[in-house]
Amino acid sequence: MPSHDNNGNACLSCGTRSGMRRRRYCSVACRQRLRYKLHLRTGLLKALNTRYATFYFDDRVIVLDIMPNGIREIYSYLFARRPGATPADDFSRMANVLGKAWWDERRRTNKKYLATRFLLDQARQGATPVNAVVPEEHCRPSVKAQSLVHLKIKPEALNSTRLDRIVKKAYRQQAKHHHPDLGGNARAFRRLHEAYEALMDWAEHPSFYRRRGFPDKWFYDGLTNRWVQPIPASRGQD
């Protein structure tokens, strides 16, 4: 099985390491291209009665892991990478090959479920644990990271039961530097005050973004019939 650990130095859409530094994608266009290719072939996942799926790659292969509805087992399709081809192009080729095999069996048997069973039998089975395809729900505060930056508050402070006091103290400290009456910049002070109000509102009525996915591979949910890009491991990443 290939390693799909990004380690912060390879694009999660094309795999390039050139000029990546700490970025997760080499460009927005690159990320959007792979997403488009994945969404374009969700018909194959529907044909396989897919509940969850993941897609990832390394320099040698691309991998599509599938867990069908009602089955607690993972079916893995591995295709060799082609020289000069992107993961998006290799995925399209994989989908074409698998789709053709499904339709050929569908025409031969005149039964959709037999075509699905035939294609699942071609996959590698039992090599991938279920939790590698069924993700935990990721939950993060719905407050903007910039609000924390303006007040110089660490993200872990959002877990404190005394957040309101932390915010007020941080606001007083920063106001000494940015208040126009004290020689500060009016625009900077306005951003500071907006950050203060946003965090005080959140402290009183905390809300969260909930999302399922993985930090190092693309995730498909059969209920929504959509692919989700890898989830950032921490706030502030691309």
Q: For 1-51, how does the pLDDT look when each residue is reduced to its tens digit (9 = 90+)?
A: 454 444 447 899 999 988 888 788 999 999 999 999 999 999 999 999 999
Confidence of residue 183 (pLDDT cuts 50, 70, 90): confident
Q: What is the pTM of this model?
A: 0.71
C-alpha torsion sign, points 12, 17, 18, 21: positive
Confidence of residue 233 (pLDDT cuts 50, 70, 90): low
Phi, psi of 140 (to 5 degrees): -140, 150
Give start and end residues of each alpha helix (H) in the chain: 28-40, 42-47, 87-109, 112-121, 145-151, 163-178, 186-204
Nearest to 227 by CA among 33, 68, 20: 33
Please provide the average confidence, as pLDDT, over all residues in the chain. Answer: 89
